[in-house]
């Protein structure tokens, strides 16, 4: 093999390696985007809650539910309807899911979604809350308040952004929902959820 052939082979390997590295770093820098509009069930989301006991029904928690509904939707025909008996002036209900990540990843999470309120109110009837972290959310204290649920009549887009250090974990949890702030029954709808992992 002559010197010219060796140089051509080295150049070909260098160009191929450069192209691969450029592709790899662009792929790893691209955001992971997860979308859900609940047209085919809950997807990978699950309902959860931190609610008080009901003094009107000893031994039972206050009534709450998160169900699919066709009453209103901002994307497609379905949304999730969130209901809670807030007469004890307490309780948080939410949807949650886990997402696989690389160990030691330092990532930015952006959660955005549409929330439907039947009426606008100057009172904070419910707070809108969200969470992203390495632990599964279990109580209201995990969540950050990102707005008031009755800012408008109809649909409004809300978002929450935070940084997460995955550490030794290979998964993170994201969640969003409502937290009672007024002593009344309340119903809201959530749709068009998008989670970006940057």
pLDDT in tens, 61-87: 999 999 999 999 999 999 999 999 999
How many Cα atoms within 13 Å fall on the side-chain side of residue 10? 7
- Output the pTM of the full model: 0.84
Same domain, yes or no, for 14 and 93? no
Q: Residue 185 pLDDT > 80, yes or no?
A: yes
Q: Residue 28 pLDDT > 80, yes or no?
A: no
Same domain, yes or no, for 102 and 176? yes
Give the residue-averaged pLDDT of 31-60. 96
Q: Residue 175 pLDDT > 80, yes or no?
A: yes
Q: How many residues does the chain have?
A: 198
Same domain, yes or no, for 113 and 125? yes
Same domain, yes or no, for 65 and 152? yes
Residue 4's domain comprises 1-30
Model confidence at 24, pLDDT cuts 50, 70, 90, reads: very low
Q: Residue 155 pLDDT > 60, yes or no?
A: yes
Model confidence at 30, pLDDT cuts 50, 70, 90, reads: confident
Same domain, yes or no, for 7 and 70? no
The CATH number covering residue 54 comes to 2.60.120.200
pLDDT in tens, 87-146: 999 999 999 999 999 999 999 999 999 999 999 999 999 999 999 999 999 999 999 999
Taking the C-alpha atoms of residue 47 and residue 176, their distance in angstroms, rounded to an integer, is 10
Same domain, yes or no, for 88 and 12? no
Q: How far is CA 31 from CA 114, 153, 196, in A?
A: 21, 33, 6
For CA atoms 190, 191, 192, 196, the dihedral sign is: positive
Number of structural domains the chain divides into: 2
Q: How many CB atoms lie within 10 A of CB 47?
A: 16
Q: Residue 176 pLDDT > 60, yes or no?
A: yes
Share of the chain above pLDDT 70, in %: 85
Same domain, yes or no, for 153 and 113? yes
pLDDT for the residue numbered 16: 56
Give the residue-averaged pLDDT of 165-190. 97
């Amino acid at each position: 093999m002559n010197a010219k052939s060796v140089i051509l082979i080295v150049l070909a390997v260098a160009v191929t390696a450069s192209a691969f590295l450029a592709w790899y770093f662009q792929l790893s820098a691209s955001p992971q985007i997860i979308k859900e509009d609940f047209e085919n069930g809950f997807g990978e989301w699950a309902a959860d809650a931190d609610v008080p006991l009901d003094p009107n029904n000893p031994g039972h928690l206050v009534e709450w539910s998160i169900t699919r509904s066709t009453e209103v939707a901002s994307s497609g025909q379905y949304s999730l309807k969130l209901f809670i008996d807030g007469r004890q002036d307490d309780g948080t209900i939410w949807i949650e899911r886990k997402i696989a990540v690389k160990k030691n990843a330092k990532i930015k999470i952006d959660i955005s979604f549409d929330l439907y309120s039947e009426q606008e109110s100057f009172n904070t009837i419910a707070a809108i809350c969200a969470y992203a972290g390495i632990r599964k959310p279990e109580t209201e204290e995990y969540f950050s308040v990102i707005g008031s649920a009755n800012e408008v009549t109809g649909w409004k887009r809300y978002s929450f952004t935070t940084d997460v250090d995955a550490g030794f974990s290979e998964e993170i949890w994201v969640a969003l929902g409502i937290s009672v702030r007024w002593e009344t029954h309340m119903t809201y709808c959530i749709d068009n959820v998008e989670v970006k992992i940057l």
